[in-house]
Amino acid sequence: MTRELTILHLYPREMNLYGDHGNVLTLKRRCEWRGIKANIEAYEPGDKFPCEADLIFGGGGQDSGQSVIEDDLQKNAQALRSLVDGGTPTLVICGLYQLFGRFFKTHEGEIIPGIGILDIETIAGDKRLIGNIVCESSEFGEIVGYENHSGQTFLDKGVEPLAKVVRGAGNNGKDGTEGTRYKNTIGSYFHGPVLPKNPRLADFLIGKALDAKYGFGELEPLDDTFENMAHRSSAEQPR
């Protein structure tokens, strides 16, 4: 039986800073190397929303980009919530991480409402949090990447972060957390893109998608020599 997954890429035109599209390419390649057909479905404002996605990805964007997608995102909030609550594996980075929360408050005081899937709130800070970042997760081990954001994100009490910051700022530069976890959804500030250097994260998303669709999510191991080299190189970079 040929296994097949549909990867929904949210707003690639407006939300694609710092190589975030590389996350989708990584998912596609790691599927194909295992004989899994991966279909990438790009979704832009005004398109018919696909409710049959097996895996969802959304990247980061400037405040202007968030404003462009704001109304369309709200229109599809219930469909996205149904997918996330149903366990569809999802990765949202930076801008869409913020908008999957309750709101993002800009420097000018404008409130860009989120869709409230994640119990987080984001307020623009006085300085940008920029640089290489290293975190530690009990589930995924060491996670490395690059962050560049002015938004300071705060998790509600009891909300699970993705990881603890070892070096860098993370969610807000204050509480030592980075990202968040909700069911099979991961929100994070890791740019870079994050998945090529952190294959355990990529395989978590693929495995959950296969398990939901076929009832079997165990993945054949791949030769991650180059991925691990990229990981180590990123971890050794100065802040």
Catalytic residues, by residue number, are 94, 191
Q: What is the 3-state secondary structure (H, E, C) of 81-94?
A: HHHHHCCCCEEEEC
Residue closest to 189 by CA, chosen among 171, 216, 215, 211: 171
Q: What is the distance between the alpha carbons of residues 17 and 40, in angstroms, rounded to a whole number?
A: 18
User: 141-155 and 120-137: which strand pairing?
Assistant: antiparallel
Contact indicator for 24, 7 with CB cutoff of 8 Å: yes
Residue closest to 28 by CA, chosen among 14, 11, 7: 7
Q: Which residues contact 224 (CB under 8 A, 6 or more apart)?
A: 199
Amino acid identity for residue 164 in this structure: K
